[in-house]
Amino acid sequence: MKIKFRTRDFKEKKQRGEKIAMLTAYDANMARLLDRAGVDAILVGDSVGMVVLGFETTVPVTLEAMIHHTAAVSRGTERALIVADMPFMTYETTTAEAVRNAGRLMQEGGAEAVKVEGGSAVLEAVKRLVDVGIPVMGHLGLLPQSVHRVGGFLRQATTPHDADILLADALALEEAGVFAIVLEAIPSDVARTVTAAVSIATIGIGAGPECDGQVLVLHDVLGLTPNLYKFAKAYADLRSEVIAALQAYATDVRTSAFPDDAHSFH
Ligand code: KIV
């Protein structure tokens, strides 16, 4: 029997010095493969907006879209913990709205935890979510939902002052009750300091090797993305394979090589 990965396993793995492997997924089929591969946790990221839906940023992603994709992922998953991103403006306005929206991700989407971006600005929402029984993952460093304020997808915490703010935010998020924090696009030494300072797990993406775990976008790992960020790594070249397979199919159709006898009813 597969043993379900739980939020408490994040901290227990950190304490045992075991790394946590997390990836994004957006549909049931891929979620099934991630589960089969033994990935610990699946993030239904709002990166779905850029990776699957063709948006330039994650800002246009709606709660309905997140519920739709989270429900698909949960139908394909048995073991991995499912964390759903709360999209832009679904947790920043009032704590009541944050609770209502996170509740929908859990009840309608099957999420087992939610992720919110930011530090001091989201502490009240985090505390309330945790109080009412919703596990929350934090997210510091590069915050894709703030791309328009920042002016791009830029590295963060690159000055001692900003690194101090990030550390203070991490400690405040831990105090507010998050079970783990994603650290995105920050220098490795800042991630090391934060990881040593908090007792909860840090999950890095572009934050160096000393976080307690790593998360990447699935399409990057599979080699389906044309231009990778420096911190992403492709473990396959599916883009070339997919194009070759589709070209072979089109050629077969045009030359009447497909369907052949084996693929026809008699
Ligand atoms: O939406 C997402 O995929 C994320 C990861 C980059 C951590 O938030």
Tokens of 100: 């209502």
| Residue 260 burial (C-beta neighbours within 10 Å; 0-12, 13-18, 19+) | exposed
Of 112, 117, 174, 184, which is the active-site residue? Answer: 184
User: If you measure from the C-alpha of residue 251 to the centroid of ligand 1, how many angstroms do you get, rounded to a whole number?
Assistant: 38
Tokens of 233: 């790594």
pLDDT at 258 over 90: yes
Model confidence band, residue 127 (pLDDT cutoffs 50, 70, 90): very high
Residue identifier of the C-alpha nearest atom 3 of ligand 1:
45
Residue identifier of the C-alpha nearest atom 5 of ligand 1:
45
Residue identifier of the C-alpha nearest atom 8 of ligand 1:
45
The single residue listed with the structure tokens 């992922």 is: 73
DSSP string for residues in 205-266? ESS-TTSSEEEE-HHHHTT--SS--TT---S--HHHHHHHHHHHHHHHHHTT-SS-GGGS--
Model confidence band, residue 254 (pLDDT cutoffs 50, 70, 90): very high
| pLDDT at 227 (0 to 100) | 86
pLDDT at 59 over 70: yes
| pLDDT at 93 (0 to 100) | 96
DSSP string for residues in 179-197? SEEEEES--HHHHHHHHHH
Dihedral Cα 209, 15, 84, 129, nearest 10 deg:
-130
Model confidence band, residue 1 (pLDDT cutoffs 50, 70, 90): low
pLDDT in tens, 211-252: 999 999 999 999 999 988 999 999 999 999 999 999 999 999
Question: Does the beta carbon of 45 sit less than 6 angstroms from any atom of ligand 1?
Answer: yes
In 86-132, beta strands by DSSP E = 113-115
Model confidence band, residue 116 (pLDDT cutoffs 50, 70, 90): very high
pLDDT in tens, 199-219: 999 999 999 999 999 999 999
How open is the CA angle 91-162-11, to the nearest 5 degrees? 60
Backbone angles phi, psi at 29, to 5 degrees: -60, -50
Model confidence band, residue 2 (pLDDT cutoffs 50, 70, 90): confident
Q: What is the mean pLDDT of the chain?
A: 97
Model confidence band, residue 67 (pLDDT cutoffs 50, 70, 90): very high
pLDDT in tens, 143-182: 999 999 999 999 999 999 999 999 999 999 999 999 999 9
The single residue listed with the structure tokens 């507010």 is: 176
Question: Does the beta carbon of 205 sit less than 6 angstroms from any atom of ligand 1?
Answer: yes
Confirm whether 56 is a catalytic residue.
no
How many H-runs (helices) and E-runs (strands) does the chain carry?
Answer: 11, 8
